[in-house]
Each structure stands twice: as structure tokens, then as C-alpha cells.
Amino acid sequence: MPDTPSVTDEQVAPAVDDLDTIVSLSKRRGFIYPSSEIYGGINAVWDYGPLGVELKNNVKRAWWRAMVQERDDIVGLDAGILMAPQVWVTSGHVAEFSDPLVECATCHRRYRLDELPGAEDVSPADAADAAIIERLGLTCPNDGGPLSAPRRFNLMLKTFLGPVEDEAAIVYLRPETAQGIYVNFRNVQQSSRKKVPFGIAQIGKAFRNEISPGNFVFRMREFEQMEMQFFVRPDGATAAFEDWLPRRRAWYETLGVAPARLRTREHQPGELAHYAKKAVDVEYRFPFGWKELEGVHNRGDFDLGNHARASGENLEYFDPSTEEHYIPWIVETSAGADRAAFTFLIDAYREEEVRGEKRVVLGLHPDLAPYKVAVLPLLKKRSEIVEICRRLRADLARDVMAVYDDTAAIGKLYRRQDEIGTPWCVTVDVDSLDDGAATIRDRDSMTQERVPIEGVKRAILDRMAAARG
Amino acid sequence: MPDTPSVTDEQVAPAVDDLDTIVSLSKRRGFIYPSSEIYGGINAVWDYGPLGVELKNNVKRAWWRAMVQERDDIVGLDAGILMAPQVWVTSGHVAEFSDPLVECATCHRRYRLDELPGAEDVSPADAADAAIIERLGLTCPNDGGPLSAPRRFNLMLKTFLGPVEDEAAIVYLRPETAQGIYVNFRNVQQSSRKKVPFGIAQIGKAFRNEISPGNFVFRMREFEQMEMQFFVRPDGATAAFEDWLPRRRAWYETLGVAPARLRTREHQPGELAHYAKKAVDVEYRFPFGWKELEGVHNRGDFDLGNHARASGENLEYFDPSTEEHYIPWIVETSAGADRAAFTFLIDAYREEEVRGEKRVVLGLHPDLAPYKVAVLPLLKKRSEIVEICRRLRADLARDVMAVYDDTAAIGKLYRRQDEIGTPWCVTVDVDSLDDGAATIRDRDSMTQERVPIEGVKRAILDRMAAARG
């Protein structure tokens, strides 16, 4: 079912050629800023501005709605970022969660082995080979200096809890949210009375000390995951996998991502993570190539089995109808909230020509748009018009994010809203004072419809419901 | 306006006498579990279960709705947990954000000086006095052993970014979200075009290496803040303070907290934090006494002034109407999402007697309740009834959190929903097959109303809107 990629980078154009277009729009309009910018920034951390936080919250809400609210077989969880350190020993992260790091002897720059030209396809065995640098004839891309042999560099960030900074006080910042679900499996199953098959979904921050973060918010050291672990009978894992993979791909399409810019790619045996029996990525055509957007993994009984052995606790599930006891197998769907928001932002971007003028539009799905509606006075000198607009915005804002703007002429106000993806603009004009009606203008079609002012909110809510299908 | 407390612990009873009642309900029903419990737990971190994550998300959503969505003078932000380390030097946290720690020479237990019997009221000057232990005659509460002189213990957790764990790589986990707002002030103001007075609101995790965490989720090492910084002309700070304090207290009351269990308490001059010109706490009567629920602070120009000086960046605001340049003053409202959720949970708890039987009710405001509605079949043997219920739940779940349960008799099903705060139960019975109607049962009044099945969702949404006022 998952097609090994038949489409290459060259065959599908990205929605935006130049990432800088998005980076610059993001800063100018308040989606995403460089973190701590007044102090020169901090590498690989980004801050969400007023529009960005709404977009990202909408992404998280849409995921929660699809994965928890609408399902009667999935419940939510919100575990801590800090967990008992033993969790990461059992999970394999202390031993395995590392990248091969090499350093230049002259300029001291550091690289992940597989990002050096000529080493893109090294296997894990190669990366453990002290002679690999010599064998492949690798030198520093910066100054041509000699490179060290690769050493394993663990990606977990650590801190110290309590007053003494020693080994015993080490606690890790979780590098993934999934483990919080596994160690809570029994508590959740017992308190929610869910029967297998059922899932546990979680959204939360994770941290990785990436050697080479980059591509804007694509790979950050601090990021937010949206993970769901689906617990099944061992013989039900394959069917669950085949159900979840197309479902997760479809989620992006339902929220507006162009199907042509999505593909699935199955991990080859040598590429599989230590916990995975099978893994397929949903990939997106970013401006910098096809990259992972979300992973669907059959993890077998690796997680609950290991945690049961290491903790000495019984993590078997008792099936009351068949009277069987077993360790459930797990099918995981693992997405990133930042990466999803970034994808929706890029994919929605388009430039058009309207009556000889360029307009930039973010064609965001109404569920994702930061503001659902802008209320704009056609004549801000007339205080009655401004008054109507302000009252209308306040009424709309009880239900949806709504914004008022009167700081430019109407054409410019429309362009501003187009550029941030506001699906509908409501204008109040001189006629409104007579007929009590306002004009709803559609972002994409630019058509206008006259609606009684007291019916504007209903019209917006109906259009939102229609867009949701 | 803020009343220095005239009510004492003894004059107002807490909603729940024994914290264990809430801790035990929380674990049993899936609100809050001890973190990493299968590995013996991790001190002062708690995980939110399926009901807890809904409650906490609802608290955050209600706050965002009141503080961002409904206001046209406040915008949101979501800055990183990791920030440039210089931020915490400028803010004063590296130098000042510490507690006096003492240690017993024999049993090695550690205490915060002011929690030792006899040292509750020590001043900061006393805490810096090496002879204070001797002067007050303090000994270890555990074994009576001799105590060390107090040393300043900084509460910030730190980690290392990049491959080398040295001083240059130290990065702190933010101990408060507010600084993320200050360093983004100019980016937010410019991209949102807001004019002073305006506010920036943020919800996010913060971390403190507390010497003595405790009281369940009241004081944790990992917690979530809801902070809003309101930027005003210097001469407008007092008025803004007087506006925000009652507004923030009223927020808790609007969402159901008993007014009698809230009070305000002004910080005395010796108690004021280094940044504050004035500070008033909204306090709640917890089972362990009156404690801070939220703080409202006049911070003057401390924050933007210091960050401008330290970064060399111009953080003045230019007022286009008066042509003045000035550093805005800040009035801050600082609340905790965990503490607020905990407060709503405790305050909603009640035990009642109904027809000779005890019932436990969480009288949560409908906006806060994890499930808005439960759909219950009166006769689960009849497949048509179950079918109707499942379809109804799925339809409700497109708009609100709804749950289906058929695993007990109806009386028990009602009690289960009462105990987790579900405002409405919908039952489908044999008559429903004839008349196409269902019964909506109200959690608090226990009255029942017969409603056409296709009108159930509208009835629930109308009741939710009515509860919101």
C-alpha cells in the first residue's frame, strides 16, 4: 500500500521556491520570529508571534479534534517533559539515541557524518568504523582540514533536579512524547476503562540536541510533537497500520495540503529504528526536498514489553471477553505540530495577479486561519460606521478570532488580510446605515455578498462548518 | 481597593478538608497521575490523564478566550522555553532568583530556611546572615542535627546546548514565561501594529528547581503559566493595575469558584520582588491555607528598560498621536494553568445525599468540564437503542467532547458522570424507539427533560451558551 517513492524532487515543484519568502513574511506579519533576537538569537529556537500562535493552536486543535474528540476509542494524555531517568534507559535512548559526530582539527567545526559530501549514504556500521574518514577520503567542507573519527553524540538534553549537580541528579528533557504514554498505559487503561484496541494521544514539547538543526522551523532543538499510540492485539497490528497510514495522510489533505505534494515512503530494513517492525513516512515536498512530515510505526511489543521487564510491573492487558492476557502491540502515528504548521503555511502560499496588481494569498483552511474574519469600515471618518464595526467585531469575537482594522484604504486592508489567510472580510459602508446590511468578501473567490448585519455571525459560522464538510 | 486580608484561614472553610480526597479521585478517574509511577515516580512532576488534559486544556482555552480572543487590545505569543542566557542575566534571575538553603550535617536533609519551625518570618537580610541558624537556635526537624548556614540556591534549571558541556553552552529552562514577552516586545508591536496601551498574552511551560515542592500540583518543578503583560504609558500604570486586579479575580468567579474562598492580599514593602512597584495576589483558600492563585504586578519600566540597556536595542515606543518616545510601563497578570485547574477541581467538589445515598459531584462550569455530555442507553440489550446512542455521540462529538457508556445500570452511570463533572447526560430508552425523543438529565438539579433526538445537540449547545452568559 505505501508506495516507495516514484516521484522525485524534480518531478513535483514546491509551493514556494525560496524559503526566505516564508521566513520574511513570518517575521513581518507576526507568524514566527527568531528567538531572543535582541540578544543576537539562540540557534534553532523560534518564537511564534500573534498570528503564529493562533495558527499553531489551530493545528493542535484540529489534530485533537480528529484524534481524540471525534474518536470513541482514543483518549488524551499530557505527561511531563521531565520523567524518571530510568525511562530513557529502558527505551534505548541512553544507549542508542545518538548521531555520529565528526570535528575538524583545524577550524573545529562539527558535522553529522551523514551530512558530509561523500558520506550521505553511510550505514550505521560504517558510522561506527573508526577508519571511515580515511576510507572515504573525507575532509572538512569549510577549510579542507582533517576530520576526527566519528563519535556517538547522544541527542538528549539533560538537566539536574535538586540541589546537587551530580550523576544521581541527572534528568533528561524528553526527546519524544511517546514514552510518557507507555509508562502511563496501565493508569490510563484502568481509569478510562477502555478496551483494546484503543489509543492514547498526546501533544507536547520535546527537545533534541541536534548537531545540524535548520531549515527554519523544520528541525529545531525545541519542538512540539503530536503523537498517538494505538494499542492492539498482537495479531491486529498489521490491520491497524494499514488503517492509520492513509488516514493520517488524508488529514493533511482535508486541511488543504495539495495531494501532489504528499507521498509515502517506507523505511528500508537497514534504515528502521531499533524499536520498529515497520515504518512508513508521510513526506511533503518542502522547498528543500521531500522530507518527513509524519511517521507511522508498527512498534510491536517493544515498548510495553521492555517497560514491564525493567520496572517489574505487570503491563499485560486482560481481555475480559476472551480471558487472554497479553502485552498489546503498538501502532504509532508521530507528527510534529511545528512541522505541520510550517507545512500548512508553505503550502497555502500563492502569488496572484488581480487587475494588474500582485496579491499574496495564504489560502489557509478556515479551521487553521489565525483570524476567521476581519471587520473593516469603508469610511472611518463616519463614527457611526466605526461604532457598528467595533460592536460587530466584539460580537464575533465571542465565538471566533476576529480583527478590526481601519488604518488604510479598503484595497490595502483586503491585501493585508489575504496575506495572513483571513477567509472572510466584512465591510460596513454608508449604505449599511440605511439598510442595516454589510458585505462579506471571500478571500479566494473575491466575491462579495450582502448580508444583514445581525446575520453576519451566523453566515460566518455556517461557512466555517461548510469548509469542515 | 485590594483588601489586606481580613479573613483568616479559620474563618473560611476549604471546599475539601483533606487533599487526599482529590489526589485519590484524580488518579482513580484519570485526572492526574504521579509521573513515571511504574519506576517509583519523579518528585514534583505529575501527569494529566484523559480527563485532566481536557480540564487543563479547557482552563487554558477559557483564559485565552478572555485574554486574547475577546479583547481587541491584546495579542498572543508562544516563545521558546530555551532563550539566550543573557536574558536571565538582564532579568536579574541569575543573580536574584534563589532561595536560602540549609542542610543538616547528620541526616543531610535539605530545607528552605523559611520553612523551618521558628524561621517562617525571616527577612531576606536575615537569610543572608551566616549566624542566623545559631541566633534563632534552629536544628534539623528530622533528627535534631546541626544545620549549615544558609546558602543561596538558584532555582533555575540549566542544560547544555551543542556538543560540549561547558560554561559557554549553558542554557536555562525558563523559570517564567514573561521574559519571552519582553524580548519580543518590539517584534510583536511592529508586526501587529498595536498602539499602547496593549497587551501580549502567553501560555507555556516553566521550570523551577524548588527545594520544597509539594501539595500535589500546587507547587511543581515543571508547570505551566498563563501570563499577560500590559504595556501602558508611564502615567497609565496605576489605572491599568486597578482595572486588571478585579478583572482577574472575577475570572475565577465567572468560572464557578466560590467568591468566599477568594481574597486579595497586597505585598508589603519588604516582601516585594526586585522588579515590582506594587504587587497584589489573588489568593484561594486551599485545604492547606490561603495561597497565591495569581499575581498582579506593576513592574514599571524595569523590564523593557533593562533589556534595552543590556541589548543595546531601542525598545522605546513611539506614540504617533503625541509624537512622544518612551519606554512603556508594564502591568502583569501572572497565573498558573495547573494551579487554576487544581483550584477549579477542588472548588467544584461536593458530597451530597440523594435518597439516602451519597453522591460525589464535581460542579465544574460547563466550559471546564472534560465531557460536556454523556450518552447512555437505558437498555443495552436492545441493539437499536445502542445504535441510536452511538450515532448521537458521534454527531455530538463533532462539536463537543462527548462520551458513551453502557457498562453499568443507569444509576451507576449517572454517578460516574457526576463524579467527573459531566453537566448533562442523555439517555435513550425503549420509548425513544417510538417517540424519537431522548431525556436530558442535568447534573446539578437532576431534573430531566424530554427532547427530540435530532434536537439534542442544539439543546446542549444552547445550555453551554447560557452557562457562559
Q: What tens digit of pLDDT does each residue of B302-337 get?
A: 999 999 999 999 999 999 999 999 999 999 999 999
Beta-bridge partners for A33: A47
A320 near A196, Cβ under 8 Å?
Answer: no
Q: How far apart are CA B375 and CA A125, in angstroms?
A: 56
Q: Which of B78, B158, B161 comes nearest A47 by C-beta?
A: B78
- Per the CB < 8 Å rule, is A70 touching B205? no
Bridge partners of residue A351, in order along the sequence: A360
Residue A198 near residue A319 (C-beta atoms within 8 A): no
* CA pair distance B63, B335, nearest whole angstrom: 10
Q: What value, to the nearest 5°, has the Cα angle with vertex A158 and ends A152 and A162?
A: 150
CATH architecture of B98-154: 2-Layer Sandwich (3.30)
Give the pairing of strands B349-354 and B357-362: antiparallel
Contact B292, B258 (CB under 8 A): no
CA distance A268 to A249: 20
CATH class of domain segment(s) B371-468: alpha beta
Question: Would you tell me how many other CB atoms lie within 10 Å of the CB of residue A295?
Answer: 22
Nearest Cβ partner for A77 among B48, B69, B158: B48
Q: Looking at the predicted structure, is the pLDDT value of residue B3 above 70?
A: no
According to the model, what pLDDT value does residue B1 have?
A: 40
Q: CA B21, CA B24: separation in Å to the nearest integer? A: 5
Are A421 and A364 within 8 A, CB to CB? yes
Please report the DSSP string for A323-354 in residue order.
TEEEPPEEEEEEEEHHHHHHHHHHHHEEEEEE
* Largest Cα–Cα separation, chain B: 84
The reply to whether residue B393 touches residue A72, judged by beta carbons under 8 angstroms, is yes
CA distance B228 to chain A (A): 13
Q: Who's near B455: CB < 8 A, 6+ residues apart?
A: none
Q: Which of A43, A53, A158, A417 to mutate to test the interface with B (most CBs of B within 10 A)?
A: A53
**Which chain B residue has the Cα nearest residue A177?**
B47
State the cell numbers at B78.
508562544
Helices (H), B225-267: 237-254
Average pLDDT over residues B104-126: 89
Give me the percent of chain A exceeding a pLDDT of 70.
Answer: 98
Average pLDDT over residues A245-261: 98
Model pTM score: 0.96
Beta-carbon separation of B186 and A38 below 8 A: yes
Query: B interface mutation test: which of A78, A193, A462 has the most B CBs within 10 A?
Result: A78
**Would you put residue B436 in left (φ > 0), alpha (ψ -120 to 50) or beta?**
left
The pLDDT assigned to A1 comes to 40
- Give B207's contacts in chain A (Cβ within 8 Å): 82
Within 8 A of B35 by CB-CB distance, chain A residues are 79-80, 82-84
Contact A79 B35 (CB under 8 A): yes
Stretch B429-451: mean pLDDT: 97
pLDDT band at A8 (very low <50, low <70, confident <90, very high): low
pLDDT at B9: 62
**pLDDT score of A4:** 47
User: Cβ(B364)–Cβ(B253) under 8 Å?
Assistant: no
Q: Classify residue A109 by burial, with Cβ atoms within 10 Å: 0-12, 13-18, 19+.
A: middle
What's the CA gap between B464 and B372, in Å, rounded? 8
C-alpha to C-alpha distance for B62 and B64, rounded to whole angstroms: 6
pLDDT at res. B271:
82
What are the phi and psi torsion angles at B196 (to 5°)?
Answer: -60, 135
Distance from CA of B394 to the nearest CA of A (A): 7
Query: Phi and psi at residue B350, in whole multiples of 5°?
Result: -150, 150
Q: How far is CA B55 from the centre of its chain?
A: 11
Is B401 in Cβ contact with A188 (below 8 Å)? no
Residue B291's DSSP bridge partners are B284
Cβ atoms within 10 Å, residue A353: 8
A183 contacts B36? CB cut-off 8 A? yes
Give percent above pLDDT 90 in chain A: 87
Report how far residue B390's alpha carbon sits from residue B377's, in angstroms, rounded to the nearest whole number: 9
- As a whole number, the mean pLDDT across chain B is 95
Q: What is the mean pLDDT of residues A98-105?
A: 92
pLDDT of B326? 98
Q: What is the pLDDT of residues B156-171, one digit of tens each?
A: 999 999 877 777 789 9
Residue B182 grid coordinates: 519582553
Q: What does the alpha-carbon distance between residue B449 and residue B338 come to, in Å, rounded to a whole number?
A: 36
The residue in chain A having the minimum alpha-carbon distance to the alpha carbon of residue B173 is A159
Tell me which residue in B75, B79, B163 faces A35 most closely, judged by beta carbons.
B79
Q: Do A77 and B53 touch (CB under 8 A)?
A: yes
Nearest CA in chain B to A217: B80
Cell readout for A424 is 472572510
- Grid coordinates standing for B366? 460547563
Could you report the per-residue pLDDT of B223-247, keeping only the tens digit for each?
999 999 999 999 999 999 999 999 9
Closest alpha carbon within chain B to A30: B191
Nearest Cβ partner of B188 from A50, A75, A76? A50
CA distance A247 to A251: 6
Question: Rounded to the nearest 5°, which phi and psi values hold at A291?
Answer: -140, 160
CB contact under 8 A, B184 and A77: no
Q: Residue ranges per domain, chain B?
A: 9-94+166-346, 98-154, 371-468
Report chain B's C-alpha Rg in angstroms. 26
What are the backbone dihedrals phi and psi of residue A320, each rounded to the nearest 5 degrees, phi first? -65, -25
Q: Which residues touch A387 (CB under 8 Å, ≥6 apart)?
A: none
C-alpha cell recorded at residue A147: 576530520
Checking if the pLDDT of A7 tops 70, the result is no
Nearest by CB to residue B84, choosing from A42, A69, A315, is: A42
Residue type, A201: A
Contact: B75, A27; criterion CB under 8 Å: no
Three-state SS for chain B is CCCCCCCCCCCCCCCCCCHHHHHHHHHHHCCEEECCHHHCCCCCCEEECHHHHHHHHHHHHHHHHHHHHCCCCEEEEECCCECCCHHHHHCCHHHHCEEEEEEECCCCCEEEHHHCCCCCCCCHHHHCCCCHHHHHCCCCCCCCCCECCCEEEECCCEEECCCCCCHHHEEEECCCCHHHHHHCHHHHHHHHCCCCCEEEEEEEEEECCCCCCECCCCECCEEEEEEEEEEECHHHHHHHHHHHHHHHHHHHHHCCCCHHHEEEEECCHHHCCCCCCEEEEEEEEECCEEEEEEEEEEEECHHHHHHHHHHCCCCCEEECCCCEEECCEEEEEEEEHHHHHHHHHHHHEEEEEECCEEEEEECCCCCCCCCCEEEEECCCCCHHHHHHHHHHHHHHCCCCCEEECCCCCHHHHHHHHHHHCCCEEEEECHHHHHHCEEEEEECCCCCEEEEEHHHHHHHHHHHHHHHHC
What does the pLDDT look like over A290-343, one tens digit per residue?
999 999 999 999 999 999 999 999 999 999 999 999 999 999 999 999 999 999
Number of cross-chain residue pairs from A and B with Cβ atoms under 8 Å apart: 233
For A27-81, how does the pLDDT look when each residue is reduced to its tens digit (9 = 90+)? 999 999 999 999 999 988 999 999 999 999 999 999 999 999 999 999 999 999 9
Count the neighbouring beta carbons within 10 Å of the beta carbon of residue B280. 23
CA of B385: how far to CAs of A11, A442, B287, B431, B433, in Å? Answer: 53, 43, 44, 10, 7
Residues of chain A contacting residue B33, judged by C-beta atoms under 8 Å apart: 184, 187
* Nearest residue to B152 (alpha-carbon basis) of B106, B93, B91: B93
Q: Select from B209, B47, B346 the least CA-distant residue to A78.
A: B47
Nearest-by-Cβ selection for A52 from B54, B78, B173: B78
CA A213 to chain CA centroid, Å, is 16
What pLDDT shows up at residue A129?
A: 87
Cβ within 8 Å, pair B211-A401: no
Please determine, for residue B2, whether its predicted confidence score (pLDDT) is greater than 60.
no
Say yes or no for a CB contact (<8 Å) between B183 and A79.
no
What is the pLDDT at residue A163? 79
Give B-chain residues touching A83 at CB under 8 angstroms: 35-36, 42, 45
What is the distance between the alpha carbons of residues B175 and B336, in angstroms, rounded to a whole number? Answer: 12
- Cβ within 8 Å, pair A83-B110: no
d(CA A52, CA A33): 9
Closest Cβ–Cβ partner in B51, B70, B397 for A397: B70
Res B4 pLDDT > 50: no
CA dihedral B212→B218→B222→B223, nearest 10 degrees, is: -150
Kindly determine whether residue B171 and residue A42, on different chains, have CB atoms separated by under 8 Å. Answer: yes
DSSP H or E segment with residue A294: strand A289-300
Contact A63, A226 (CB under 8 A): yes
Contact between B53 and A187 under an 8 Å Cβ cutoff? The reply is no
pLDDT tens, position by position, B39-98: 999 988 999 999 999 999 999 999 999 999 999 999 999 999 999 999 999 999 999 899
How high is the mean pLDDT of chain A?
A: 95
Say if CB A199 and CB A228 are below 8 A apart: yes
CB contact under 8 Å between A80 and B35, yes or no, is: yes
Quick one: cell of B374? 454523556
Residues in chain A: 469
Whether residue B338 contacts residue B224, with contact meaning beta carbons closer than 8 Å, is answered with yes
Dist. CA A264–CA B230, nearest whole Å: 47
Q: What is the rounded distance in angstroms from the CA atom of residue A235 to the CA atom of residue A324?
A: 13
- C-alpha to C-alpha distance for A85 and A83, rounded to whole angstroms: 6
Chain B CB contacts of A52 below 8 Å = 78
Does domain B9-94+166-346 correspond to CATH entry 3.30.930.10?
yes
